Chain A
Amino acid sequence: DTAVSQTPKYLVTQMGNDKSIKCEQNLGHDTMYWYKQDSKKFLKIMFSYNNKELIINETVPNRFSPKSPDKAHLNLHINSLELGDSAVYFCASSQVPPRETQYFGPGTRLLVL
């Protein structure tokens, strides 16, 4: 029973393509997040949704668009992929902050060629 799952686990694609990464959590949490871990291993928040509403939108190119169809899902769409988008993308979820810890998915390794 995976608490936070992401698909696909690996994604290799060409520059200029559009791709999506899906995230689902079965923990009943209200808040979901997307993080990016770049080649320097920094883990940075990109977006956060609480009850399907966007509450954090860090300085991320508008080629990245999160979509939350319901509380249990937060998908990440990336348009016109660039080489610099190559990274590991982690989805996470939590109950309403600030007390609750965040639970992470296994990550999606994106390689843009």
Chain B
Amino acid sequence: DQQVKQNSPSLSVQEGRISILNCDYTNSMFDYFLWYKKYPAEGPTFLISISSIKDKNEDGRFTVFLNKSAKHLSLHIVPSQPGDSAVYFCAARIGYALNFGKGTSLLVTP
């Protein structure tokens, strides 16, 4: 049973525009949410996180928004760059375990 869902398998955005990646979750006990970025043949690398007590966290071009009532979070990348092309995984934590979504493949075109 998939507790973290990324319903868009892929997204294509033009360079310089905003990329918005979405994630929904079902378990209200998750206390921490993270976004990981993954290039082919590499492990996921941590990008940005947000505690369940906050609704926004910003780090440079990356902002994560959390809407607890809707059990929804999103990652905004602005401006998007070709180097951002990768698979983005949303993850939610309970205790020691991370629950991952299936990932969204982002393609940023010049």
Interface residues of chain A, those whose CB is within 8 Å of chain B, are 4, 31, 33, 40-45, 48, 50, 55-56, 58, 90, 92, 97-99, 101-107
Contact B45 A102 (CB under 8 A): no
Q: How many A-B residue pairs have CB under 8 A?
A: 54
Question: Which residues of B sit under 8 angstroms from A106, Cβ to Cβ?
Answer: 41-43
Query: Can you add 16 more A-B contacts, CB < 8 Å, to A43-B103, A48-B97, A58-B97?
Result: A31-B96, A33-B96, A40-B102, A42-B100, A43-B89, A44-B100, A45-B98, A48-B96, A90-B44, A92-B43, A97-B96, A98-B32, A99-B32, A104-B43, A106-B41, A107-B41
User: Main SS of chain B's interface residues?
Assistant: strand
Chosen A-B contacts, 29 in total, with CB atoms closer than 8 Å, are A40-B102, A42-B2, A42-B102, A43-B44, A43-B89, A43-B103, A44-B100, A45-B97, A45-B98, A45-B99, A48-B96, A48-B97, A55-B96, A58-B97, A90-B43, A92-B43, A98-B32, A98-B96, A101-B34, A101-B49, A102-B46, A103-B45, A104-B36, A104-B43, A104-B44, A106-B42, A106-B43, A107-B41, A107-B42
A99 to B44, CA, bound (A): 18
Question: Which residues of A sit under 8 angstroms from B43, Cβ to Cβ?
Answer: 4, 90, 92, 104-107
